[in-house]
Amino acid sequence: MLSFGIIIFMVNKAIDYYSFITIEKQMMEKADLSELSFREVLAQHRSSTGEPQTQEIVRLALEKLKASGKEVRIYDSSKQLLGLAVDGIIIMDGKPHIFEQNIEKALGGNYVYTVTEDHLLYFSTPIQDQYYQNAYVYEFVEDISYFYAIMDQIRYILFAGAGGFIVLITLSSLWIARSTTKPIKMLLGAAQSFSRQEFRRVHLNRKDELGMLADGLDSMGRQLHDYIQYQKQFVSNVSHELKTPLAAIRGFSQYLYEGETENKELQKIYAHLLQESDRLTRLINELLLLSRFDKEGSNELEARKTEMNKLVQQVATSLGAKAKDKGIEILFKEAEAEPGDKLLTSVHANVNPMLMSHAIANLVDNAIKYSGSSSLIELKLEHTPSEVVIQIRDQGIGIAGDELEKVQERFYRAKNANTANGSGLGLSICKEIVERFNGYIDLESQIGKGTTVTIVLPRA
Ligand SMILES: Nc1ncnc2c1ncn2[C@@H]1O[C@H](COP(=O)(O)OP(=O)(O)O)[C@@H](O)[C@H]1O
Ligand SMILES: [Mg+2]
């Protein structure tokens, strides 16, 4: 708009400038012709009388010029008005001149002009006598209002055209903006859902660069989807294949360990073997669980209305012994009855009890694993009218703030976790389980102080 405004301004100025140049040219031609005719008069007069008589000369000159404009004035070299012709009538003793300076400059040898407010042009030009002296000045007065009218008309056309053009440009740029931002937003949305591993078809019904981009994104999405599926399938297959030999190894290790009573050195080795195969078995089981989640449309892990107090209590009990071994106490605080509710509280959620127990056990297991001896683990159940909240609070080593997000990813273990063994899959499995039942997990932690994991589920 701004550049357009500047262009209009310049064009306007140019029109003014070139129009006046045209007028000047016209006037100069007229001045030349007048000079010629004046010389003619001079020559004729001299040849007829010998002695030049100014009055007569002026009258003759005016006679020739009187029809050539609105008004013609002739001055002598002392700026005295010699005579004038108004609308074709010659007046020999007219009023004095108006633009004295113009006459002065003309006597200096230059043409000069002034335009008055009522669009009258006063054009003064020097006239030379027989000795080539600037002895006289012609002043032509022209009404140039017709010329202003034309300029106004040109300007009007220009502005109208420009206005139309601006409207057109604005409308078309709005249209272009809309027709490009919408598909770009769509592509952005697709890219964002790809990054969440949600793949869908991307298609734009257009042949331009955006259409090509959409096609590229689409094929990328499909390849990524296939690749991830392949990867998951691969892990699942390998886990399956490992399960049987691992069971055999564990069985034989157990057999060897129990059979060896004399050689302490060998016993230690067998115990280690047993421990490691247990660890591997756990890892394989977790991987298999994850691959069961990944299988789309599997409904073997169905949800049903489950009483959560009992479920959490069971988990606390089952892990009590393990905690005690480390000198840790698990404190279970069940959900309290709502005020005025005389019945025993029962808080329900729609979950698969096996999976949910697994998730909570995993979190309690972490709390035990990442706590020092003789500390306390609080297991608390609360509820609101719409939610069930399960909290696992420990006094352990804690997780650094910048790792809180990452520990929920598969295979990620925090930097201070190397004291305890693990695969880094536990939390990601919990997250998937809780999200499967439309809940979410929240982690709060402070290094050296402890960690609180909160599971929030919709109440059934
Ligand atoms: N209660 C906790 N206290 C401190 N760190 C924890 C706790 N729970 C989880 N973490 C950190 O999160 C990481 C991921 O946990 P998880 O997925 O259960 O894997 P794993 O326990 O097998 O290492 C752990 O390696 C540990 O660094
Ligand atoms: Mg764990």
229: in domain = yes
Question: Which of 89, 108, 143 is a domain's end point?
Answer: 143
Is residue 119 located within the same domain as residue 237?
no
182: in domain = no
Give, in order, the Cα–Cα distances in Å from 24 to each of 19, 49, 142, 146, 396.
Answer: 9, 37, 12, 16, 98
Is residue 290 located within the same domain as residue 342?
no
Distance (Å, whole) CA 3 – CA 29: 39
- 407 CA to centre of ligand 2 in angstroms: 10
Number of domains in the chain: 3
308: in domain = yes
185: in domain = no
Is residue 246 located within the same domain as residue 376?
no
Closest atom of ligand 1 relative to the 417 alpha carbon: 27
Is residue 394 located within the same domain as residue 423?
yes
The dihedral through the CA atoms of 408, 411, 414, 418 has a sign that is positive
Distance (Å, whole) CA 143 – CA 363: 100
403 lines ligand 1 (CB under 6 A): no
392 lines ligand 1 (CB under 6 A): no
Name the β-bridge partners of 89: 86
Is residue 405 located within the same domain as residue 376?
yes
Per-residue confidence band for 294, with pLDDT thresholds at 50, 70 and 90: confident
Per-residue confidence band for 339, with pLDDT thresholds at 50, 70 and 90: low
> Which domain range does residue 119 map to?
2-143
Closest atom of ligand 1 relative to the 397 alpha carbon: 4
Is residue 246 located within the same domain as residue 386?
no
Averaged confidence pLDDT in the chain: 88
69 lines ligand 1 (CB under 6 A): no
Give, in order, the Cα–Cα distances in Å from 65 to each of 39, 79, 191, 242.
Answer: 13, 20, 85, 120
CATH of the domain at 448: 3.30.565.10
Distance (Å, whole) CA 426 – CA 407: 9
% of residues, the chain, pLDDT over 90: 46
- pLDDT tens for 221-271 read 999 999 988 988 898 899 999 999 999 999 999 999 999 989 999 999 999
Listed residues: CB within 5 A of ion ligand 2: 366, 422, 426
Query: What mean pLDDT comes out for the span 10-39?
Result: 87
167: in domain = no
Question: Which of 250, 265, 294 is a domain's end point?
Answer: 294
- pLDDT tens for 384-427 read 889 999 999 999 999 999 999 999 998 899 988 877 888 899 99
443 lines ligand 1 (CB under 6 A): no
162: in domain = no
Distance (Å, whole) CA 395 – CA 443: 14
- What three-state secondary structure class fits 346? coil
Is residue 280 located within the same domain as residue 377?
no
- Check pLDDT > 60 for residue 342: no
Question: Which of 232, 264, 294 is a domain's end point?
Answer: 294
Which pLDDT value is given to residue 93? 65
CATH of the domain at 240: 1.10.287.130
41: in domain = yes
- pLDDT tens for 133-190 read 888 888 888 888 888 898 889 889 988 988 898 899 999 999 988 888 889 999 999 9
Is residue 274 located within the same domain as residue 311?
no
Closest atom of ligand 1 relative to the 425 alpha carbon: 17
Please compute Rg for the chain using Cα positions: 52
Name the β-bridge partners of 395: none
406 lines ligand 1 (CB under 6 A): no
Distance (Å, whole) CA 82 – CA 127: 13
Contact indicator for 351, 437 with CB cutoff of 8 Å:
yes
Q: Which of 399, 402, 444 maximizes ligand 1 atoms within 8 Å of its Cβ, making it the mutation to test the pocket?
A: 399
201: in domain = no
